[in-house]
Amino acid sequence: TGSAATNKALSLKRAQAVKAYLVSEYDSDPNRFIVIGNGPKDAIDDGVEGASEAYRRTDFELVQD
Protein backbone atom coordinates (compact mmCIF):
# COMPACT_ATOMS: atom_id res chain seq x y z
CA THR A 1 0.00 0.00 0.00
CA GLY A 2 1.05 3.60 -0.27
CA SER A 3 1.62 6.06 -3.07
CA ALA A 4 3.37 5.15 -6.31
CA ALA A 5 6.34 7.34 -5.32
CA THR A 6 6.67 5.63 -1.94
CA ASN A 7 6.48 2.19 -3.53
CA LYS A 8 9.05 3.11 -6.18
CA ALA A 9 11.48 4.34 -3.49
CA LEU A 10 10.93 1.14 -1.48
CA SER A 11 11.48 -0.97 -4.58
CA LEU A 12 14.77 0.80 -5.27
CA LYS A 13 15.94 0.27 -1.67
CA ARG A 14 15.14 -3.43 -1.93
CA ALA A 15 17.04 -3.74 -5.20
CA GLN A 16 20.03 -1.93 -3.67
CA ALA A 17 19.94 -4.33 -0.71
CA VAL A 18 20.08 -7.32 -3.07
CA LYS A 19 23.06 -5.78 -4.86
CA ALA A 20 24.85 -5.12 -1.56
CA TYR A 21 24.25 -8.72 -0.49
CA LEU A 22 25.62 -10.15 -3.74
CA VAL A 23 28.66 -7.89 -3.58
CA SER A 24 29.45 -8.76 0.03
CA GLU A 25 28.60 -12.47 0.03
CA TYR A 26 29.91 -13.45 -3.41
CA ASP A 27 32.56 -10.79 -4.00
CA SER A 28 30.67 -9.62 -7.08
CA ASP A 29 31.90 -6.57 -8.95
CA PRO A 30 29.52 -3.74 -7.96
CA ASN A 31 30.05 -2.09 -11.36
CA ARG A 32 28.32 -5.00 -13.10
CA PHE A 33 24.94 -4.18 -11.58
CA ILE A 34 22.28 -1.83 -12.81
CA VAL A 35 19.79 -1.25 -10.00
CA ILE A 36 16.26 -0.13 -10.84
CA GLY A 37 13.25 0.21 -8.59
CA ASN A 38 10.08 -0.12 -10.64
CA GLY A 39 7.57 0.23 -7.82
CA PRO A 40 4.08 -0.48 -9.21
CA LYS A 41 5.34 -0.34 -12.80
CA ASP A 42 5.55 -3.76 -14.51
CA ALA A 43 3.70 -5.61 -11.77
CA ILE A 44 3.09 -9.28 -12.45
CA ASP A 45 -0.70 -8.85 -12.46
CA ASP A 46 -2.68 -5.74 -13.36
CA GLY A 47 -5.05 -4.37 -10.75
CA VAL A 48 -3.44 -6.13 -7.79
CA GLU A 49 -3.73 -4.04 -4.66
CA GLY A 50 -2.25 -4.23 -1.19
CA ALA A 51 0.58 -6.52 -0.17
CA SER A 52 -0.26 -9.34 -2.56
CA GLU A 53 2.62 -11.63 -3.56
CA ALA A 54 1.36 -11.36 -7.15
CA TYR A 55 2.36 -7.70 -7.20
CA ARG A 56 6.07 -8.20 -6.61
CA ARG A 57 8.60 -8.75 -9.38
CA THR A 58 12.36 -9.07 -9.42
CA ASP A 59 14.40 -9.44 -12.59
CA PHE A 60 18.01 -10.47 -12.96
CA GLU A 61 20.11 -10.85 -16.06
CA LEU A 62 23.45 -12.57 -15.70
CA VAL A 63 26.11 -11.43 -18.15
CA GLN A 64 29.45 -13.10 -18.65
CA ASP A 65 32.60 -11.25 -19.63
pTM of the model: 0.71
Quick: pLDDT tens for 18-31: 999 999 999 999 98
Question: What pLDDT score does 51 carry?
Answer: 59
Rounded to the nearest angstrom, the gap between the alpha carbon of residue 35 and the centroid of all alpha carbons in its chain is 7
Quick: pLDDT tens for 13-60: 988 999 999 999 999 999 888 888 887 776 666 665 665 555 566 677
Which of 42, 46, 44, 37 minimizes the C-alpha distance to 11?
A: 37
